[in-house]
Amino acid sequence: MAAIIQVKNVAKSYWRNSLEIPVLHGITLDVEEGEFMALMGPSGSGKTTLLNLIAGIDRPSSGKLSVAGTDIAKLNESALAKWRSANVGFIFQFYNLIPVLTAYENVELPLLLAKLSRAERKKHVENVLNIVGLGDRIYHYPKQLSGGQEQRVAIARAIVTDPAILVADEPTGDLDKNSAQEILTLMGRLNKEFKKTIVMVTHDQHAAERATRLLHLDKGDLSANGKN
Amino acid sequence: MKVLKLIFKNSLRHKLRTSLTILGIAIAVIAFGLLRTVVTIWDSSVDAAGADRLITRQSVSFIFPLPLAYKTKIEAVPGVKAVCSAAWFGGTYIDKSNFFARQAADDNVFDVYPELLLTPKDFDTYKKTRNGCIVGASIAEQFKFKMGDIIVLDGDIFPGRWEFVVCGIYQPKNKNTDGTQMFFHYDYLNEKIKQTSPGRGDQAFWYIVQINDPNKSAQISEQIDAIFKNSTAETKTETERAFTQGFVAASGAIISAMNFMSYAIIGIIMLVLANTMIMSARERTREYAVFKTLGFSALHLTGLILGESMVISCVGGGIGLALLYPIVAGFEQVMPKGFFPFFFIEPITAILAVSSAVLIGFLAAVFPIQRALSTKIVDGFRFVG
Ligand SMILES: Nc1ncnc2c1ncn2[C@@H]1O[C@H](COP(=O)(O)OP(=O)(O)OP(=O)(O)O)[C@@H](O)[C@H]1O
Ligand SMILES: [Mg+2]
C-alpha cells in the first residue's frame, strides 16, 4: 500500500524584500500509515515549514506532495481548506484555543463545518473530551485550565473530526515535565489505539523516544536516524 | 446560531473598549439627530413660506417704517390680490423670557395666511373688539390663554402698557406652520400711536403682498419697487421665502456649518469604530489563522468581523436613537416657545441616523476583513501582536 504521506523533491523558499530565503531543498520522505514520526533539528532548520507543507497550510515552491491520497499542491484555497478539515488534525505548541469559547465549544468548532445535528455534535465532542480525560471540564474556559489541560482540549479538537493524520508542532514545548508526559502518553494512545498517523516536531529527546521513527532536519536537509 | 454567539462573545471581550465605542456611537447619533433636526426645522420654515406672498419693506432695513399711503399704491399694481400692513410690536409679556412673535396686522392677514385656521365666529368677535387679539394654539397652550383673557404687554418699540383681549385661537394647518404668533388690529396700534406720538402714526413696517400668480413674483416685485424709487422711503420687495431666509441670514451660515458638522460627526465616529475593529482584528490574527486552518472560509471570517462591527454600531445607534426622542422633547421644553416655531424629529432624520449607524458598521469592518483574509495562515501563526 502506498505511503499516506509522500513528499517528493519538495523545496520551499520564502521571499523577504525580494530576497529569496531557501528553507527546504529537495526533501523526499514517505510516511506510512500508522507511523508516529518525530522530526528534530536545530532552530530555523525548517521543521515547522515542512510540517506546514504536509498539513496543507502552506504550499511548496516545487516538488510533489501527496497526502492521504490527494495531490495537495494542486488544490486551490477552498479545496485545500476542505481537505484539511477532513484529513488533518492540528496540535500546536501554544494550544491556540479560542479564549472566549469553552472547552466544549472549542472542540465543537471543526464540527460546525460538517453537516451534523446538534445531538450528533454533542456525542462526538463528549466522546473525544472523555478520550483526553477532560469529561469533567467541558464548560471551562481556556484560562480556567492548566497548560496540560489546554493542550488536551486542543488534541480533542484535532481528533474530533476523526482525521487520519495528526500534525503536532512542539506539542510539549510549553509544558512542565509531568504534563508533557501525559500529552505524550495520550499521543501514543492515539497512534496505537486509534491508528492515527502522527508527524510531530520536537526539541525534546524524551518526546522523540515515544515515536516509532525519528528524522533529523538540518539546514533544510533530512537525515534519517532509523527506527526506535 | 453558533456564529452569532461567537460574535457576541467577541464583542464583549474588551468590555470597556466596546462600551466606550458604543457610547461614542450613541452620542454621535444623538448629536447628528439634534443637528439635523435644527437643519430640517430651518429648511421647513423656509418651505412654509407661501410662494404667492411677497414682502415689501424699507430698502435699507425692516426696522425703518414705510408710509401707510403705500398700501393703496401697491394694491393698484396689476397681479396683486391683497395687501396687508404689518408692524412688529415686540414688547414683553410678564417676563422677557416669554418670547413669542407679536405683530399688528390688517384684518385680512387671515386671508393672506390661509394656513392660520380661524373659525368665522372667532374672526367676527375679533373684528368687533377694538383691542382684540388672536393667538396661536401653541402659545395658547403654553400660557393657558383662553377666550376673553386679557393679555397685558409692556411695550418697547411702542412704549406703554397695552391690554389685549383674546378673541380667538388659530390652529396651524401644517406641521411646519408657526403656531406661536399673536396678532392684533393694525388700526388699533395706529390709533393709539397717533395719540401718544403723532409723528409715528400711519406707518407700517412691512406689507404682505399676495399675488395671483407665483411665477410673476420677480416682475411684480420690480414693479412695486419702481413706484417708490427716488422717494424718501424706497422699498425692497422680495418673496416671503427670500425674506425668511434673509431674516435668518446669520443663521444661514450657522445652519450650513451644522449641516456639515452633522456629517463630520458621522465620519469621526466611523474612524473610532474602525480603530476599535482594527485593534480587535489585529489581536485575533492568530485566532483567524486557527479558523482558517480548521477549514473556515473567507465568508465565515467576513461574517465574524462584519457581524461584530455591526453589533457594536447598531447597539450604539439604537441607544442613540432611543435617547434622541426624549432629548429633543427635553430641548423643546427648555427652549423659549417661539424661538423655534416647531421642533420635532423628521422621520428622515431618524432614517438617516439609523442608516449612518449601519454604514459606519459596514465601513469600519472593511479594512480588518481585508487584512484578515489576505494574511496567510503561516504568517498568522508567526504574528506576534
Ligand atoms: N512565513 C515565513 N516567511 C518568511 N520566512 C519564514 C517563514 N516561515 C519560516 N521562515 C524562515 O524559514 C526558516 C525556517 O523556519 P521554521 O519555522 O520552519 O524553522 P523551525 O525548524 O521550525 O525552527 P524552530 O525550531 O525555531 O521552530 C527560518 O529562517 C525562518 O525565518
Ligand atoms: Mg518551528
pLDDT digits (tens, 9 = 90+) for A131-142: 999 989 999 999
How many residues are given for chain B?
Answer: 385
Q: pLDDT of B198-256, one tens digit each? A: 888 899 999 999 999 888 888 999 999 999 999 989 999 988 877 776 665 556 677 78
Report the CATH number that the domain containing residue A20 is assigned in CATH: 3.40.50.300
Q: What is the pLDDT of residues B162-207, one digit of tens each?
A: 999 999 999 998 877 888 999 999 999 999 999 988 888 899 999 9
For testing the chain B interface, which of A14, A112, A169 should be mutated: the one with the most B CBs within 10 Å? A112
| Torsion (CA) B118, B123, B125, B126 in degrees, nearest 10 | 100
Q: What is the CA radius of gyration of chain A?
A: 17
Q: pTM for the whole thing?
A: 0.74
Residue B91 near residue B158, CB atoms below 8 Å: yes
Question: Does B56 have pLDDT greater than 90?
Answer: yes
pLDDT at A228 over 50: no
Contacts of B312 (CB under 8 A, 6+ apart): B11, B18, B21, B22, B25, B273, B276, B361
Structural domain count, chain A: 1
| C-alpha cell, B112 | 393672506
Contact B301, B369 (CB under 8 A): yes
Rounded to an integer, what distance in angstroms lies between the CA atom of residue B75 and that of residue B86? 15
Distance CA B155, CA B149 (A): 19
Distance CA B381, CA A112 (A): 22
Which residues constitute the domain of residue A170? Answer: 3-223
Within a domain: residue A228? no
In B, what residues contact A, Cβ < 8 A? 2, 6, 9-10, 12-13, 286-287, 289-297, 376-378, 381
Cβ of A93 below 6 Å from ligand 1: no
Q: A68 pLDDT exceeds 80? A: yes
Phi-psi region of B144 (alpha: psi -120 to 50; beta: other; left: phi over 0): left
In the structure grid, which three cell numbers stand for residue A111, read together? 464540527
- Residue partners of B277: CB distance under 8 A and separation at least 6: B305, B308, B309, B364, B365, B367, B368
pLDDT band at B342 (very low <50, low <70, confident <90, very high): low
Decide if A20 is inside a domain.
Answer: yes
CB–CB of B10 and A100 under 8 A?
Answer: yes
Query: Does residue A61 sit in helix, strand or coil?
Result: coil
pLDDT tens, A183-204?
999 999 999 999 999 999 999 9
Q: Of B155, B104, B141, B144, which is closest to residue B126 (Cα–Cα)? A: B104
Is A227 a residue whose pLDDT tops 50?
Answer: no
Q: How far apart are alpha carbons A32 and A4 in whole angstroms?
A: 5
Ligand 1 geometric centre to CA of A216 (Å): 16
A46 lines ligand 1 (CB under 6 A): yes
**Which of A48, A58, A109 is the best residue to mutate to test the B interface, defined by the most B CB atoms within 10 Å of its own CB?**
A109
DSSP code of residue A111: G
CA B272 to mean position of chain CA atoms:
29
Question: Could you tell me if the CB of B379 is within 6 A of ligand 1?
Answer: yes
